[in-house]
Structure 1
Amino acid sequence: MPRSASRTVALAALGALLTCTVAVVVAARSFPESYSPARLSWPNASLLLGWARFDAGWYADIATQGYGYTPGQQSSVAFFPAYPLAIRGLGVLGVDTFIAGVLLTVLCGGAAVVLFTRWASHLKGEDAARDAGLLLVLYPFAFFLYGAMYSDALFLLLLVSAFYLLERGQLLPAVLLGAVATAARPVAPALVLGLLARRLEWKHQRGEKWTLWDALPVLAGLGLVLYVLYLWHAFGEPFAFAKVQSAPGWDQRPGWRTWLKVRWFQGFSSSMTLADGLRLVGHAAFSLGALALVWPTVKRLGWGYGAYVAAMVGMPTLSSKDFMGMGRYLLAAFPLFLTLALLLRERPRLRWGVLSTSAVLLIALAAAYGAGAYVS
């Protein structure tokens, strides 16, 4: 009896999880002085220190202390509430904050991979779903699904769940999950557009007329709306999450310098290190590659998913000063992995070449992250 796509991908994800964990632990032990916000809680725990880096400190602070906002300075309001609230929920059960963050990522990442494979199988069959699932679990930045204390795993799980339910005709549950997703990351317009466009396309494919009920995906933006209202009530600044992006150190001020990526070009200087150059070129390449897959997504998955991918990739690409972080942001544009699988279906050697290269990069980036290097 042939192995199902979900089982194959789940086993591959388990292997990737274990391999990345080993890489992170070895790297963390090799660079014991690298900073981790979890050091005060677990000073000698290589696993925890390796997975709790950078923004993990912000999420832990929100989960334990709540939000703070100081105009003109980096503040915790930049981070949306769904993930730290989930961490706080585990904390109520007595789980250490950083353990809760890592555990939440592992659980959500695993569930997201399985649901993604089922979504892909529903659309294009078992073979395509298997290939797409392998591309996802071996994606170079997929280590953010395997333990890194970031919101990406939870966000991806919510996104995939919403669209999977939408494909099965369960509109209201899909919208409710979408609303939770827009409380996890500041990309509500992309998700609302995607759910609405796909719902209308789905009805059209079934030969059914559109009704007012089909506009329900608009309410998926309620997560963002509620966060905006909270910020207005708590700090008198409804869009504080956007304003703090221009604070020193983040320097993501909206405007033509950001849109034209002036800081990206300035990064290529005589003092640039090899690591700096790889980051600059790598994230830009991932961004442009994802944008190049928008039209193939329209042709193979429909204009609904094409619109979703265009918005989900376009928004962070436009708002980033130097493409930094785009590698992990592209996890949210999950239909791209199915599109790429379909493109590679007739090119088995190229497919295995892509998977092998991705696997090597995945392990290397996980190790770099565990060592405290800023990779995304």
Structure 2
Amino acid sequence: MLKRLSLSPQESGLLAFVLAVKVLLLLYAGLAHAVIENQSAGSLFELLDYWRRWDTPHYLQIAAKGYVAEGEARLFIVFFPMYPWLVRAMAWLVVDHYIAALLVSTLASLALALALYRLVALDYGADLAQRAVALLFVFPTSYFLHIAYTESLFLALVVGSALAARSGHWKTAGLLGLFAALTRVNGALLTALLACEAWRQWRENRLALYQAWPILLVPTGVLIYLGVNHAVFGDPLHFLEVQRGHWHKRLAPPWDGLQGAWGWVLRGDPPTNRYMLGVQEVSFAALAIVMTLISAFRLRPAYAAWMALNTLLFLSTNFMQSVPRYCLTLFPMMILLAQGFRTPMQWMAFCVGSTLLLALFSFQFSMGRWGF
């Protein structure tokens, strides 16, 4: 994933920044519980447990026991296997699966920061690359990059694959793309990103098309996941049945989900649902759509394709849920945002606003309330 092992001073600074954000989020959760809930963590492990919420126990169950066809755990087939497989491997070293999951996410987030910095610097220089990485890690839902979720691993694999393709290392790009498709369903969309990059390099006479054959490795990740479904349930598409039957989600025109989220905005009762299920879902959907349209004119075709396909995928559902979190996958959006600030004051204002939302949403999540 990384073009070189040595780190520049800028890259070392970015790694320190990412680690500092992790520590601050951890301490913030402890402070929030102490002040709001009048509950103090008795140890570091209790402090870490504030982040063991929502999907995290599901990933830990898969890591510890694998996929099963009985009991409540049978529903966890909707979660792709790459992240829990890595957690299981890490648990051989640290024994505890939750600590292993946090370590996997930490290493992935550090790799993501380096890969994104190097990728953006290829076109826009070191200064803008630093700003893009900083924006990603203060994005309102960036706490998912630090906890036992798939976001950091998925983005590290996606950005690493794009960086490898830009550097002409197509076998590495294809292999990382395969792993990305084993991590999240939208990993398969890397096929389009890599194909657009191969086309551009061919147009620039820097690539013979046969050299890009590793792009075909990306869909293999999805095929492996379908194989897991078949091995456990005898049906390669069983996860779709679970999505419809238990999670009540299915593909639908984007306006269906937008209409439902707008309904929460209009209801207004209770206010928390209006804000978290309505206002924020609609606002971040609008952000994704606007940034996608701008990317078609301002960014490389490969990045615009990634933006368009991902936005279409997470909006094409019968009800919108977790759009603010899914926006993290739109890494080219950070380039556009970094380009958009003309003055230091604009930059600081955006960072302050984003950090305030980050504090609010991470507070919700660490309290066990809905945080996307």
**TM-score (structure 1 length as normaliser):** 0.88
Q: Secondary structure at the match of 2:148?
A: coil
1:231 aligns with 2:229: yes
Deviations 1:36-64 (Å, cap 9, x if unpaired)? xxx9xx99833221121110111111111
Q: Is the 8 A contact 2:144 2:151 kept in 1?
A: yes
* 1:200 Cα deviation after fit: 1.4
Q: Is the 8 A contact 1:8 1:130 kept in 2?
A: no
Q: Which residue of 2 aligns with 1:25?
A: 30
Q: Which residue of 1 aligns with 2:209?
A: 211
Change (3 A) 1:106 1:89: same
Q: Secondary structure at the match of 2:368?
A: coil
Q: Which residue of 2 aligns with 1:76?
A: 76
Change (3 A) 1:315 1:190: same
Q: Which residue of 2 aligns with 1:157?
A: 156
Q: Is the 8 A contact 1:192 1:220 kept in 2?
A: yes
Q: Unpaired segments of 5 or more residues in structure 1? A: 34-38
Of the structure 1 ranges 260-269 and 179-188, higher mean CA displacement relative to structure 2 is found in 260-269
Change (3 A) 1:291 1:265: closer
Deviations 1:136-173 (Å, cap 9, x if unpaired)? 11111111112x21111111111111111111110111
* 1:317 Cα deviation after fit: 1.5
Q: Which residue of 2 aligns with 1:36?
A: none
State how 1:323-334 maps to structure 2 within 5 Å: 324-334=321-331
Tell me how many residue pairs correspond in the alignment: 362
Instruction: Please tell me the residue identity of whatever aligns with 1:151.
Output: T
Q: In 2, distance between residues paired with 1:265 and 1:298?
A: 27
Q: Which residue of 1 aligns with 2:199?
A: 200
Query: Which of 248, 251, 255 is the aligned partner of 1:254?
Result: 251
Q: Which residue of 1 aligns with 2:19?
A: 14
Q: Which residue of 2 aligns with 1:351?
A: 347
Q: Is the 8 A contact 2:254 2:317 kept in 1?
A: no
Q: Which residue of 1 aligns with 2:165?
A: 166
Q: Which residue of 2 aligns with 1:272?
A: 269
Q: In 2, distance between residues paired with 1:159 and 1:321?
A: 26
Q: In 1, distance between residues paired with 2:255 and 2:299?
A: 32
Q: Which residue of 2 aligns with 1:342?
A: 339
Identical counterparts, % of pairs:
23
Instruction: Please tell me the residue identity of whatever aligns with 2:274.
Output: G
Q: In 2, distance between residues paired with 1:94 and 1:11?
A: 23
Q: Is the 8 A contact 2:267 2:274 kept in 1?
A: no
Query: Which of 365, 368, 371 is the aligned partner of 1:369?
Result: 365
Change (3 A) 1:304 1:25: same
Q: Is the 8 A contact 1:13 1:137 kept in 2?
A: yes
Q: Is the 8 A contact 1:25 1:46 kept in 2?
A: no
Indicate the structure with greater helix content: 2
* 1:85 Cα deviation after fit: 0.5
Q: In 2, distance between residues paired with 1:5 and 1:243?
A: 47
Instruction: Please tell me the residue identity of whatever aligns with 1:177.
Output: L
Instruction: Please tell me the residue identity of whatever aligns with 1:284.
Output: V
Q: Unpaired segments of 5 or more residues in structure 2? A: 1-7
